[in-house]
Structure 1
Amino acid sequence: MLKRFFLLCSGADLELLQKCANGEQNKYAGIGATVFFTALMATIAASYALYKVFDNIYTAVFFGIIWGLLIFNLDRFIVSTIKKRDSKRKEIIQVLPRLLLAMIIAVVISKPLELKIFEKEINQVLLTEKNQMTLNNKTQIAQQFTPEIEKITIEVNALKDEIHTKENEVNALYETYIAEAEGRKGTKLLGKGPVYKEKREKHDAALAELHELKTKNEEKIQQKEAAITSLLENQKLIETETQPIITNFDGLMARVNALNKLPWLPSFFIFLLFLAIETAPIFAKLISSKSEYDYKLENHESLVKTWIQQQVHQREAILQTDKELNDRIYADLKTEEELYQYKQKTARNLLKLQADSFYKNQQKIL
């Protein structure tokens, strides 16, 4: 049962193979097994690749099976259409386009399996890229907010400097009137005289201005610091919203690009392996000598071709004979007086009917 299934996979004529030797049947069963297992590997590869696209195992398996059937049909077609010729040159010419198609199929099958085989290494490459992308993302987002934050920070520092300058001024006035009272500076008279009172009034006025300035500037500083806090919160919010995009950066194209960044030699050997599997049936038929099945298939095709040619020739001969008979028959009819008299009578009646119809139409017009 299994052997018959593999023979069916080979695309060979089962009726002819049944009449061949057991060794010939085994050869084509091996070719069919190669076609089947290549399609099976294509199904697995496509299912894995599509799972990375859809994130749904049922969808991936469904379309993977369809893809495997497509590859199976293509491989079966490639193998079944290769026929042994009397000339190796003709065989090579007929194999070249099929070989090119087999190479394309090998690439398509091997690439998803490479992604699975080197999954850990690809994940490491993707992790490095994601970390770099996270840093770049934060830098780009910060560039949108940093100028405004720096501008507000400068304004806050300017308000604080203004308060600090006024405090220094008040402290200096305080020291002045205290020194006047102690007699250390100014008039150098001990006690609280008119000069003391004048300096004390200047200090009190500056102190009142300081309190007013503090109240006004601290309110502005609170508003500006709240604006800075809001900007920083928006910056963190955008970073949080964009991080899932970076985290999910592990699709099919990203993995293929990551695979290309790994050493090429292991990937190349896997490709060679699938190329050998895919082209094995082609080369097997190409290098093998003409066998029993090939002779029987050639004989069968020759019989069908000869029979069709005979049928075509026979139809052409019948057509030619019929044409010649018709020519002779109509040539004889041309000279028959009876046929001439009959057609003359018919034509006369037709002319009479036309004349009567014309006459009636003219009467209606008048």
Structure 2
Amino acid sequence: MLQRFFILCSGADTAILDTCSEGEQNKFAGIGATVFFTALMAFIASSYALYTVFDNMYSALPFGLIWGLLIFNLDRFIVSTLKKRNRWGKELLQAVPRILLALIIAIVISKPLELKIFEKEIDQVLLEEKNGMTLANKQQLAQQYTPVIEKLNQDINDLKQEIAIKEAETNALYDTYISEAEGTAGTGLLGKGPVYAEKRDKHDASLAELRQLKEGNAEKIAVIESQIAALNTEYAETVKNTQPIIDGFDGLMARINALEKLPWLPSFFIFLLFLAIETSPIIAKLLAPKGEYDLKLEDKESSLRTWVSQKVHQREKIWATDTELNNRIYSDITEEEAVYAYKKQKAEELLKLQADAFQKGQLEGL
């Protein structure tokens, strides 16, 4: 039962193979088993690849099954159409396009399995890339907010500097009127005279302006600080909203690119393994001598070719004979007076009818 199934997978003509020896049947069963297990690996590989895309097993499995059946059909077609002939060079030339197709299929099958085999290493590469992308994203977003925040901080510093300057000016006036009272500066007279009162008034006025300036600038600073806090909050929210995009950077293409950054030798040997599996039925048929099945298949095809050639030749002869007979028959008819008289009578009747119809048309137009 299992042997029968694998023979069907090989694409061999079971009617011919049933008449062959047990060894010949085992050879084609082995070829069919290779075709079947290659398709099975293609199903597993494509299902995993599609799972990384859809992140859903129920969506990946049906598409994986379709892909596996497609690979099975292609492999079966490749093996079944490669026929043994007497010239090895012609067989090799016939196998070249099939080997190229097998090469493409091997690449397609091996790549998703490589992604699964090196999954942990790929995750490490993706983690490093995600960290780098996170830092780059923060820096890029910071370039949008940092200049504005720095400008606002500079405005705060300017307001504070304005207060400091006014405070220094007020303190200087304070020192002036105190020195005047002590007699250590100004008029040099000890006591609170008119000059002292004048300087005291200037200080008090400056102190009032300082208080007013502090209150006004404090309100401005509070407004600016609220703007800075709002920008910082907006920046943090933007970073938070863009982070899921970076966290989701683990699709099929991202994993393939990450795989390319790993050492190439292990991946290359896995590819060679699948290439060997995929091309093994073709190589086996090329290297194997012409067997009993090949001889019987060639005999059947040549018999059919001969029969078709005979049928075509017979049709050509029948057509040539029929043409010659028709030519002779119509040549004899041209010499028959009765046929000539009948054709002449019918032609005269047709001309009379045409003349009557023309006259009727002319009368209706008058």
Q: The TM-score by the shorter chain falls in which range?
A: over 0.9
In structure 2, what residue type is equivalent to 1:109?
A: I
Which TM-score applies when normalising by structure 1? 0.96
In structure 1, what residue type is equivalent to 2:329?
A: I
Q: Does 1:202 align with 2:202?
A: yes
In structure 2, what residue type is equivalent to 1:314?
A: Q
Corresponding residue number in structure 1 for 2:125: 125
Give the unaligned 5+ runs of structure 1: none
Query: 1:258 & 1:332 partners in 2: Cα distance?
Result: 89
SS of alignment partner, residue 223 of structure 2 = helix
Corresponding residue number in structure 1 for 2:186: 186
Corresponding residue number in structure 1 for 2:272: 272
In structure 2, what residue type is equivalent to 1:216?
A: G
Question: What aligned pairs does 1:76-155 form with structure 2 within 5 A after superposition?
Answer: 76-155=76-155
Question: What aligned pairs does 1:28-39 form with structure 2 within 5 A after superposition?
Answer: 28-39=28-39
In structure 2, what residue type is equivalent to 1:253?
A: M
Give the unaligned 5+ runs of structure 2: none
In structure 2, what residue type is equivalent to 1:180?
A: E
SS of alignment partner, residue 116 of structure 1 = helix
How far did 1:188 drift? 4.1
Inter-CA distance 358–167: structure 2 relative to 1 (3 Å threshold): closer
Inter-CA distance 210–338: structure 2 relative to 1 (3 Å threshold): same
Q: Deviations over 1:324-346 (max 9, x none)?
A: 11111111112122222222333
Query: 1:100 & 1:358 partners in 2: Cα distance?
Result: 75
Query: 1:346 & 1:185 partners in 2: Cα distance?
Result: 154
Which TM-score applies when normalising by structure 2? 0.96
Question: What aligned pairs does 1:24-103 form with structure 2 within 5 A after superposition?
Answer: 24-103=24-103
Query: 2:225 & 2:119 partners in 1: Cα distance?
Result: 48
How far did 1:363 drift? 4.7
In structure 1, what residue type is equivalent to 2:238?
A: I
How far did 1:360 drift? 4.2
Corresponding residue number in structure 1 for 2:176: 176
Aligned length: 366
Q: Does 1:257 align with 2:257?
A: yes
Q: Deviations over 1:156-188 (max 9, x none)?
A: 101101111211222222223233333443344
Corresponding residue number in structure 2 for 1:234: 234
Inter-CA distance 163–359: structure 2 relative to 1 (3 Å threshold): closer
SS of alignment partner, residue 278 of structure 1 = helix
How far did 1:7 drift? 0.5
Query: 1:285 & 1:357 partners in 2: Cα distance?
Result: 80
Query: 2:62 & 2:99 partners in 1: Cα distance?
Result: 28
In structure 2, what residue type is equivalent to 1:258?
A: A
Corresponding residue number in structure 2 for 1:309: 309
How far did 1:23 drift? 0.7
Question: Identity of paired residues, percent?
Answer: 67
Q: Deviations over 1:274-295 (max 9, x none)?
A: 0000000000000000000000
Query: 1:197 & 1:358 partners in 2: Cα distance?
Result: 140
Query: 2:364 & 2:172 partners in 1: Cα distance?
Result: 136
Query: 1:358 & 1:141 partners in 2: Cα distance?
Result: 94
